[in-house]
Amino acid sequence: METVIDKFIRYISVDTQSNEESESQPSTSKQFDLLKMLCGELKALGIEADLDQWGYVMATIPANINKKVPAVGFIAHVDTAPDASGKEVKPQFIENYNGEDIALKGVPGLFLKPSEFPELLDHKGETIITTDGTTLLGADDKAGVAEIMAAAEWIMNHPEFKHGEIKIAFTPDEEIGRGVAKFDVKKFGAEYAYTMDGGEVGELEFENFNAAAATVKIQGCNVHPGYAKGKMKNAIRIGMELNSLLPSGQKPEYTQGYDGFFHIIGFNGTVEQAEFSYIIRDHSIELYEHKKEVMKQCVDFINTKYGEGTATVEIRHQYYNMRKQVEPHYFIIEKAIAAMEMAGIKPKIQPIRGGTDGANLSFMGLPCPNIFAGGLNFHGKFEFAPVPNIEKATQVILNIVKLFAE
C-alpha cells in the first residue's frame, strides 16, 4: 500500500489552481488532471466511481454489514487558492524539526520562522513538510484528498473491517466559493458527511463565516495633469478614499474568533478607471448584512461627493454559516469527537474563520461539518504540514466509519 504521505506528494505535484475570473465549471481545465487521476485510482481499488462534466468525482464503497446504518460521506476539494502559484511545487522534508528557523531554499534569505509562526514549535521532533518558498504547498486541500484516498485504500485491503456504505467526493473550485454550485446531493447519496478541509490536528468545526464578495468600480476623469484643476477625478485616489471609509479595525489582521472583517484582495486601475475587490465575512448573519450595507453606504458617500455614477458596487453572496443546519444533527459532531479521542487527539471545537464546501452542502440538505486535514498557513509560501497531522486525520476517517457501523 502507498502511504498517505506518498499520495500527498503525488497530488501536490499536479497544478490545480482555480481562477475566480473564469465563468466555466471547473474554473480551470487543469483541475481535471487531478480529478481524472483520482477517479482512475478509485476504480483501480475496485471502488465504483465516476467523474462528471462539472468536475465532481463521486464514489461508493458498499456496506459489508447486514444492519442498516447511515451512509456517511467524506469530501475534499482538489483546487488550490489563486493567492499563490501551485505550479511545480517543490516540497521540503524537515525531519525531527528542532524548533529553529527553516530555510525555504527556493528563495535565498527566506525563512519559515517560529518567531512569526509560533505554531511551528508545537511540532518539534516531528517531520514537517514545507514549500521551497516559490509556491504554496497545497495541503489545502490535497492533504484532505490524500487522507480520504488512503483510508479508502486501507478499507479495500482490509475486508474484515466492518462498515456501512461510504461515500467519497472530490470537488473543484472550493477556493473561489463555487465548489458545490452544481453538486448533486441526491446522487451523492450520503445522509451525513464531513469535509476534510481544516487546519491543525484536532480542529472540528460546524460553524463558519457568512460570506460575500464585493467588486467596487470607480469611474474617474483623466485630463492633462498640468491643467487638471477642477476637472480631473483620479479613480485610484477616489478608490483609496472609499477604502479608508471602511471600519479600520475590521480587517483580517486585527480580528480573531467570531470577529468579522472587510478584506481587500485585489486592485487594478488607472486615473480613468479603477476596480477594487473585497471579501466580506461575519459569523453573525445580522452583522454580515450590516457589513454589506456599510459597503453600499461608502459607495453612496463617494457618489454624493464626486457625482452620481462615480462609484458602483456589485455584492455577490458566497455562503452562509452552516451552524443552524448542522446543530440539529449534533450526534455527527459527537461521533467526530469520539473518533478523534480514539486516535489520541484532543478535539478543538471552534468556528471556521473561512468556509468550506460543507457550508453550502449543509444548506443543500447534507449536514457536513469540517475536520482537520493537518496543514497550516494555507494560501501562501509559508504553508507547511506536519506528517503526523496527516496520518492522524486518516485514522480519524477510519474511526468515524467504524463508529457509524456500530
144-176 pLDDT per residue, tens: 999 999 999 999 999 999 999 999 999 999 999
- ∠326-371-113 over CA atoms, to 5°? 135
Question: Which domains are assigned to the chain?
Answer: 4-208+321-405 (3.40.630.10), 210-319 (3.30.70.360)
CA dihedral for 362, 398, 382, 14, sign (positive or negative): negative
pLDDT confidence of residue 319:
87
Strand partners, 49: 59
Query: Which of these, 181, 86, 211, 194, lies nearest to 140 by C-alpha position?
Result: 86
Reported as a single tens digit per residue, the pLDDT across 57-96 is 999 999 999 999 999 999 999 999 999 999 999 999 999 9
Query: Which of these, 32, 33, 37, lies nearest to 2 by C-alpha position?
Result: 37
CB 83 within 8 A of CB 64: no
What backbone phi and psi angles, to 5 degrees, belong to 174? -65, -35
- pLDDT 10s per residue in the chain (406 long)? 899 999 999 999 999 999 989 999 999 999 999 999 999 999 999 999 999 999 999 999 999 999 999 999 999 999 999 999 999 999 999 999 999 999 999 999 999 999 999 999 999 999 999 999 999 999 999 999 999 999 999 999 999 999 999 999 999 999 998 899 999 999 999 999 999 999 999 999 999 999 999 999 999 999 999 999 999 999 999 999 999 999 999 999 999 999 999 999 999 999 999 999 999 999 999 999 999 999 999 999 999 999 999 999 999 998 899 999 999 999 999 999 999 999 999 999 999 888 789 989 999 999 999 999 999 999 999 999 999 999 999 999 999 999 999 9
Query: Which of these, 201, 212, 225, lies nearest to 261 by C-alpha position?
Result: 212
Residues recognised as catalytic: 79, 174
Q: What is the pTM of this model?
A: 0.87
135, exposed or middle or buried, with CB in 10 Å at 0-12, 13-18, 19+?
Answer: buried
**DSSP state, 403?**
H
Rounded to a whole number of angstroms, the CA Rg of the chain reads 23
Query: Which of these, 30, 14, 365, 346, lies nearest to 184 by C-alpha position?
Result: 365
**Listing from the earlier edge strand, what are the strands of the sheet with 384-386?**
92-94, 128-130, 384-386
Q: Which residue has the cell 456500530?
A: 406
Q: For residues 6, 9, 11 and 15, what is the CA-based torsion angle, rounded to 10 degrees?
A: -170
DSSP string, 68-132: ----EEEEEE--B-TTS--SS---EEETT--SS-EE-TTSTT-EE-TTT-GGGGGGTTS-EEE--
Identity of the residue numbered 310: T
